[in-house]
Chains A and B, each alone.
Chain A
Amino acid sequence: MDEDKVMVIMTSGPDTPRRCATPFFMATLAAAMDYEVSMFFTIDGTLLLKKGLAETIYPKKGGKSVGEFLQEAMEAGVKMTACTASMELHDLTQEDLIDDVKMVGGASMWQMAEDCKTVLSF
């Protein structure tokens, strides 16, 4: 286990906008605390990585889009990983996703989790 690594698992997607800001916010915050942060997207969460989609989702009317939360997390150094099985679920390919997303299998999720001090699941 690495004392400086944490991970956020994201399962919520476009159907539940209000659940789509905090996970990014928490990831960005952890990066600001000097943790090495990964986000793992699965189930509907993976849809948020589809090119152009997050920019159309607003957790709060008049507030920031999920795209902005995602951008801030990436700028803070959060690494984005997508579950390959969830991509199949939504008929997505690597080309459908934004740049800098790594596709990994379920076993990689377990290995990432083992390496982390804290795993937060949304």
Chain B
Amino acid sequence: MATINGCNLPEDLYYFIEKHIWAKPMDGKVVRIGMTTVAGKLSGGKLNAVTVKRKKIGEEMPKGKSVATVESSKYVGPVPAPITGVLVNANDKLDNDPNLAISDPYGEGWIAEFEASKWDEEKADLLTGPDGLEKYKAKLEADNISCD
């Protein structure tokens, strides 16, 4: 577990740092995604809704397409897919407690799961491990973002 500019960012996750999204390979081809603590900070700290596009479950979504939206009193924005894949699951717990997505972002607050279409190819575009976090740190500093 690494802490960068006060933001908790586990080293074993794969990050889409432009949009502050994490991805984690699960069993088989399944990849789970969620928001980073950085996204939680930027959203203002209290989410009113996290809405996954459930109508798209079973369909392939290209990398970069909006898979969900987050709403807070300060922010509204998309959760773009960090990889290409078939949307297979949405986290039902967020329906009753959307704030889980930022209060427990790497655990109970995951947002959706994909069956990755080309994980081996696309994971190269995501940042991971100590080297990846160094780059994430550079971005946070360039954008003047701190979770403290």
Chain A interface size, under 10 / 10 to 19 / 20 to 34 / 35 or more? 10 to 19
Q: B66, A29: Cβ atoms under 8 Å?
A: no
A32, A34, A64 pick with most chain B CB within 10 angstroms: A32
Among A32, A63, A64, A72, which residue has its beta carbon within 8 angstroms of that of B69? A32
Q: A25, B76: Cβ atoms under 8 Å?
A: yes
User: Does B71 sit within 8 A of A, measured CB to CB?
Assistant: yes
Complex CA–CA separation, A63 to B44 (angstroms): 13
Q: B76, A72: Cβ atoms under 8 Å?
A: yes
User: Does A28 sit within 8 A of B, measured CB to CB?
Assistant: yes
Contacts of A72 in B (CB 8 A): 76
Contact mask for chain A residues 12-39; partner B; CB cutoff 8 A; 1 contact, 0 none: 0000000000000100110011100000
Chain B interface size, under 10 / 10 to 19 / 20 to 34 / 35 or more? 10 to 19
Contacts of B69 in A (CB 8 A): 29, 32-33
If over half of B's interface residues share one DSSP class (helix, strand or loop), that class is named, otherwise mixed; here it is: strand
A117: shortest Cβ distance to chain B, in Å? 13
Among B65, B71, B74, which residue has its beta carbon within 8 angstroms of that of A34? B65
Q: A33, B78: Cβ atoms under 8 Å?
A: yes
A65: shortest Cβ distance to chain B, in Å? 13
Q: B66, A34: Cβ atoms under 8 Å?
A: yes
User: Does B118 sit within 8 A of A, measured CB to CB?
Assistant: no
Contacts of B74 in A (CB 8 A): 64
Contacts of A28 in B (CB 8 A): 76-77
CB nearest neighbor in A for B78: A32
User: Does B53 sit within 8 A of A, measured CB to CB?
Assistant: yes
Contacts of B73 in A (CB 8 A): 63
Contact mask for chain A residues 61-91; partner B; CB cutoff 8 A; 1 contact, 0 none: 0011000000010001000000000000000
CB nearest neighbor in B for A35: B66
Q: A29, B65: Cβ atoms under 8 Å?
A: no
Q: B53, A33: Cβ atoms under 8 Å?
A: yes
Complex CA–CA separation, A2 to B48 (angstroms): 30
CB nearest neighbor in B for A60: B73
Q: B53, A32: Cβ atoms under 8 Å?
A: no
A63: shortest Cβ distance to chain B, in Å? 8
Complex CA–CA separation, A33 to B70 (angstroms): 10
> Other than the known A33-B69, A34-B78, what 5 A-B pairs have Cβ atoms closer than 8 Å?
A25-B76, A32-B66, A32-B76, A33-B53, A64-B74
> Which residues of A approach B to under 8 Å, CB–CB?
25, 28-29, 32-34, 63-64, 72, 76
Considering the complex of A and B, which 8 residue pairs feature the smallest CB-CB distances, nearest first?
A: A32-B78, A34-B66, A32-B69, A28-B76, A32-B77, A29-B76, A33-B66, A33-B69
